[in-house]
A and B are shown apart, each in its own frame.
Chain A
Amino acid sequence: MPIYTYGMSHTSAPLEVRERIAFPPDGLDLAVGRLVATGPVREGLILSTCNRTELVVHARSGAADSLKTFLLGERQTAAKELDRHCVLRTDGDAVRHLFRVASSLDSMILGEAQILGQVKEAYAAAVRGRGIGTILDALLQRSFAVAKKVRTETGVARYPVSIAHAAVSLARDIFGELRDRVVLIVGAGKMARLAARHLIASGVRTVVVVNRSHQRGADLAQELGGGTAPWERLFEEMGKADIVIASTAAPHAVIGHDEVLRVSRTRRGKPLFFIDIAVPRDVDPRVNAIENVYLYDVDDLQGVVRANQEERRHEAATAETIVLRETAAYLEWLRSLDVAPLITDLKAHFRNVGVQEMARFRSRLGPLTPEQEGRVEEMTEALVNKFLHHPIQALKRAAANGGGETLSFLREAFGLPESDRRDPADRGRQPRNDPDESPGSVERTAAEPGAGAAGTDPGAPDDPQ
C-alpha cells in the first residue's frame, strides 16, 4: 500500500492560494481525524504552514482522488485550483519529499530552522487525531532523524543569510566573544534597532546611543537598556566603542575619513567595526582603508549574505545524498513489512496441515504417553520450520529487492487469501523508536510495495528457527 504526499507549497502555488488552503492550527487534530475517516486512507498527517499545505498519508492504491475530495470538502477552493497547484507524490518520491521538507531543503530560505518544529507540531496533532500508525510513525521519526543529520553533518544551516545575522557573524569574526564589547549606535533608525537587538541577543551588554534629536535617542537607549551621549561627543564615544552601527537619515556621510583616522590613532590598533546600514551612507567608504578599521555597508552585507546562500546551496548537495540514502533505507524497511504477514500466513498454513494430518493418523498410533504425544507435536512443529526455512529466507531477500510479484505468486501457489486489511488497532499508536533494523543503501525507488500483502506489524513472527 503506497505512501502519498498531496498538496501545495511555495514552489507550486502563490501566497493568495496557499493562504486559503492552509489549515488553522486549532482543530488540526480533528481535521486529521476526518482525513483518516475517508475510505482508502489508513494513516494521515496534515502539514500546514505559511509556505505549504500538504497531506501525508498511507492509503490504498488509487487514493489520490479522495485526497483531492478531502481538500475540496475542507477548504474554500475549487477543483481546478487544486489541479493547477497541487502536487501528488507516491512512495519513493513522497518519502524523499517529506525528508527534504523536514530537512529544510524545500524551504523558501534554504536551511531555515523553523520547518522541523512545524513538522513536529503536525505530527503531534496527527497523533492526537489518531492519524498515526506504524507506517507514518516510522516515516516521521525517521524524517526527524534525517533533519538532525542534515543540520549537523552539512553546512546547510551554518552560514547566516540575513543582513542582521551577517553583521553579528562579522562582529564575531573580529571580536570573538561579544560580551564585553561596547556598541555605539549613531542615529535612531529602525534598522539600527534591529541590528542592536541581534547584537544584544548575542551577548553585548553595553550600548550607547548618539542621536541628533536627543529625545528619540533616549527612547531607543531606554528600549535597548543602554545610555545616551550628545551628538557633539560622537567621536569621543567612538574611541571607546568596538562596534559602531550607523543609521542616520542624513543625506550625506556624517562620519568622515579624517575623523575616524584621528580616532583610530588613539586606539593602539584595537579593531573598530563599522556597520553602516544607512542609505545614503553615513560613513565615508574610505574609512575601510584605515588600519584595524572594518567598514561594512548595506551592499557589503548583502554580498556576504549572497556568498553564504551560495555556500548553503553547495552544502545542500551533500544533504540531498543523505536524504536519498535515508529514503532507500526507509523503503527497504517498508518492503520488509509486506513480507511479514505472508510469512505468518505460510507458517499457519503449514502448521494447520500438520495438525490435520496428525489428527487423521493419531488413531493408528495406538495409546501414547503424554510425553510421547508432546514429542510428536514437537516433531510436527520442527518439520514445518525445516520446510519453511529456506523459502522464508528467499522471501525476505525478494521483499528487500521489491519483489512484489514473488509475494503474490506464493500466495497463489499455496492457496492463501489476499489480506489487504490492516489491523485497525494499529491506529493512534504511541511513537516508536527508529524502526529500521537493517539500514541498507539500496538506491532504488519503490515499486508498488503492496501486492496485496500489507500487514503492518513489524513484530510478526517471521523466523522459523
Chain B
Amino acid sequence: MDWSLLLFRVALLLYTLAFVNTLIPMLSGRRRTVRLTPWLAAAGAGAHTGALVALGIALDRCPIGTLPEVLSVLAWTAILLYLVIVWRYRIEVLHAIILPLVLVVLFVSDLLPGQVVPVAAPLQPWLRPLHLFVIILGVAALFITFAASLLYVIVDRALKAKRPARFVLGLPSLDRCESVGRTSLFWAYLLLTLGIITGAIFSASLYGHFWAWKPQESLAILSWIILGVVVAARLGWGWRGRKVAILTIVGFAAVFLRMLGI
C-alpha cells in the first residue's frame, strides 16, 4: 500500500472540503459555518505532513527531488503559514484565496510527470535542498502577500462603492490587509533573494556559470525586479494603498507563472 499517495489524496480531499466550506456562506450570506474551515485545513495539513514523511521514507531522501514534490511541499508550507496567520491575526477570509491557490498547485503537481531530474553529483550536496527550501518558504510567504493585497483591493472597492461588506463576509480592515501584506512581502523578498543567490551558486557549482539566460532564469529575474520595485516603494519610500497592492499582485503573478513552469 502506498501510504504517501493515500494520505496525499486524503489531504487533497480535506483541502477541497475546506474550500467548499468557505463558499457556502459566501453564497448563502451566512457566516457561521466558516469556523470549520481552518480546522478542515489543519486536518488536511496533518494528512499532508504524513504523506510527505511517508514519501521521504519510501524514497529515502528529502521529498523535494522533483517538481511535483517541490510543489507539494510548497502547498504544505503555504497552508501552515495561512493557519498561523488565521490564528494570529484572525483574518479568516484569507482561506478564500489561499485554499484555491493551494489546490491549483496540488492539482498541477499531480498532473506533472514525477521523474527525478537527473542531476550530476554536485560538489556541495546541501546546496540544492537549501536553495529549494528558501525559495519554497519565500513563495509561500508571497502567497500571503498576494492574498492580503487582493483583499486590500476588494475592501477598497467595497468602500468606494459605499457597500462595506465587512460584517457579512468577515473581511479585515484595510489597515490589517496593508500590514499583513507589508510584513509578508518583506520576508518573501528576503527569502527569494537568498533563493536566487543560492540558485546561482548551485548553477555555478554544477555547470560552471552563474547565469545562462535560460527562459526560466529570465522570468525569475523579471519577477524579482518587479517585486523589488514593490518592496522599494512599500518599505523604502513608505508607499501604500491601492496601486501598490495592484503592483504586488502583478509581481506575484510573475512569480507564480515562473514557479508552475520551471
A pairs with B: yes
The residues of B that contact A291 with a CB separation of less than 8 Å are 241-243
The residues of B that contact A270 with a CB separation of less than 8 Å are 240-241
The residues of A that contact B155 with a CB separation of less than 8 Å are 173
CA distance A4 to B95 in the complex (A): 50
The reply to whether the CB of A175 lies closer than 8 angstroms to some CB of chain B is yes
**How close is A356's CB to chain B, nearest CB, in angstroms?**
62
Closest to B241 in A: A269
The reply to whether the CB of A144 lies closer than 8 angstroms to some CB of chain B is no
Is B241 a contact of A296 with CB atoms below 8 Å? no
A176-B168 contact, Cβ under 8 Å, with A170-B159, A291-B241: no
Report the stretch among A129-137, A189-197, A303-311, A398-406 that lies at the interface.
A303-311
The reply to whether the CB of B33 lies closer than 8 angstroms to some CB of chain A is no
CA distance A175 to B155 in the complex (A): 12
CA distance A105 to B155 in the complex (A): 31
> 8 Å CB contacts to A: which residues of B159-190?
159-160, 162-164, 166-168, 171-176
Is B239 a contact of A268 with CB atoms below 8 Å? yes
Is B166 a contact of A173 with CB atoms below 8 Å? yes
CA distance A181 to B242 in the complex (A): 20
The reply to whether the CB of A362 lies closer than 8 angstroms to some CB of chain B is no
The reply to whether the CB of A429 lies closer than 8 angstroms to some CB of chain B is no
The reply to whether the CB of B213 lies closer than 8 angstroms to some CB of chain A is no
The reply to whether the CB of A262 lies closer than 8 angstroms to some CB of chain B is no
The reply to whether the CB of B244 lies closer than 8 angstroms to some CB of chain A is yes
Closest to B166 in A: A173
The reply to whether the CB of A158 lies closer than 8 angstroms to some CB of chain B is yes
From A269, A303, A308, B242 is in contact (CB under 8 Å) with A269
The residues of B that contact A294 with a CB separation of less than 8 Å are 159-160
Interface centre among A300, A307, A311 (most CB of B within 10 A): A307
The residues of A that contact B159 with a CB separation of less than 8 Å are 170, 173-174, 294
The residues of B that contact A271 with a CB separation of less than 8 Å are 174-175, 241
The reply to whether the CB of B238 lies closer than 8 angstroms to some CB of chain A is yes
Is B174 a contact of A269 with CB atoms below 8 Å? no
Interface string of A291-323 (1 = CB under 8 A from B): 110101000100110011001001000000000
Closest to A159 in B: B167
The residues of A that contact B113 with a CB separation of less than 8 Å are none
Interface centre among A158, A269, A300 (most CB of B within 10 A): A269
> 8 Å CB contacts to A: which residues of B210-256?
237-244
The residues of A that contact B175 with a CB separation of less than 8 Å are 174-177, 271
The reply to whether the CB of A440 lies closer than 8 angstroms to some CB of chain B is no
The residues of B that contact A153 with a CB separation of less than 8 Å are 32
Closest to B173 in A: A176
The residues of A that contact B172 with a CB separation of less than 8 Å are 176
CA distance A393 to B199 in the complex (A): 79
CA distance A296 to B164 in the complex (A): 11
The reply to whether the CB of A380 lies closer than 8 angstroms to some CB of chain B is no
Is B243 a contact of A269 with CB atoms below 8 Å? yes
**How close is A310's CB to chain B, nearest CB, in angstroms?**
11
Is B160 a contact of A269 with CB atoms below 8 Å? no
The residues of A that contact B29 with a CB separation of less than 8 Å are 314
A268-B164 contact, Cβ under 8 Å, with A173-B174, A174-B159, A177-B175: no
From B167, B237, B241, B244, A158 is in contact (CB under 8 Å) with B167
Number of A-B residue pairs, CB cutoff 8 Å, is: 66
The residues of B that contact A307 with a CB separation of less than 8 Å are 163
CA distance A291 to B173 in the complex (A): 17
A269-B173 contact, Cβ under 8 Å, with A170-B159, A294-B160, A296-B162: no
The residues of B that contact A303 with a CB separation of less than 8 Å are 162
CA distance A108 to B61 in the complex (A): 69
Is A288 a contact of B174 with CB atoms below 8 Å? no
The reply to whether the CB of A226 lies closer than 8 angstroms to some CB of chain B is no
The residues of B that contact A428 with a CB separation of less than 8 Å are none
Is A175 a contact of B167 with CB atoms below 8 Å? no
The reply to whether the CB of A386 lies closer than 8 angstroms to some CB of chain B is no
The reply to whether the CB of A172 lies closer than 8 angstroms to some CB of chain B is yes
Is B173 a contact of A174 with CB atoms below 8 Å? yes
Is B241 a contact of A170 with CB atoms below 8 Å? no
The residues of B that contact A40 with a CB separation of less than 8 Å are none
Is A311 a contact of B167 with CB atoms below 8 Å? yes
**How close is B213's CB to chain A, nearest CB, in angstroms?**
36
**How close is B182's CB to chain A, nearest CB, in angstroms?**
12
A300-B174 contact, Cβ under 8 Å, with A158-B167, A268-B237, A291-B241: no
CA distance A271 to B156 in the complex (A): 10
The reply to whether the CB of A155 lies closer than 8 angstroms to some CB of chain B is yes
From A174, A304, A308, B174 is in contact (CB under 8 Å) with A174
The residues of B that contact A173 with a CB separation of less than 8 Å are 155, 159, 164, 166, 171, 173-174
Interface centre among B167, B240, B243 (most CB of A within 10 A): B167
CA distance A3 to B206 in the complex (A): 89
Interface centre among B29, B159, B162, B171 (most CB of A within 10 A): B162
> 8 Å CB contacts to B: which residues of A259-290?
268-271, 288
CA distance A296 to B160 in the complex (A): 9
From B168, B171, B239, B242, A311 is in contact (CB under 8 Å) with B168
**How close is A290's CB to chain B, nearest CB, in angstroms?**
10
Is B162 a contact of A269 with CB atoms below 8 Å? no
Is B242 a contact of A292 with CB atoms below 8 Å? yes
**How close is B78's CB to chain A, nearest CB, in angstroms?**
24
CA distance A449 to B252 in the complex (A): 69
CA distance A89 to B227 in the complex (A): 69
Interface string of B126-164 (1 = CB under 8 A from A): 000000000000000000000000000001100110111
**How close is B91's CB to chain A, nearest CB, in angstroms?**
11
The residues of A that contact B242 with a CB separation of less than 8 Å are 269, 291-292
By Cβ-Cβ distance, the 9 closest A-B pairs, closest first, are: A269-B241, A176-B173, A176-B175, A292-B241, A269-B240, A300-B162, A268-B239, A173-B166, A174-B174
22 sampled A-B residue pairs with Cβ under 8 A: A155-B31, A155-B167, A169-B166, A173-B166, A173-B173, A174-B173, A174-B174, A175-B173, A176-B176, A268-B239, A269-B239, A269-B244, A291-B243, A292-B156, A292-B240, A292-B242, A294-B159, A300-B162, A304-B162, A304-B164, A308-B167, A311-B167
Besides the known contacts A155-B31, A170-B164, 12 further A-B residue pairs in the complex with CB atoms under 8 A apart:
A159-B167, A169-B166, A170-B159, A174-B159, A175-B174, A176-B172, A176-B176, A269-B241, A269-B242, A269-B244, A271-B175, A292-B240
What residues make up the interface of A, taking CB atoms closer than 8 Å to B?
153, 155, 158-159, 169-170, 172-177, 268-271, 288, 291-292, 294, 296, 300, 303-304, 307-308, 311, 314
What residues make up the interface of B, taking CB atoms closer than 8 Å to A?
29, 31-32, 155-156, 159-160, 162-164, 166-168, 171-176, 237-244
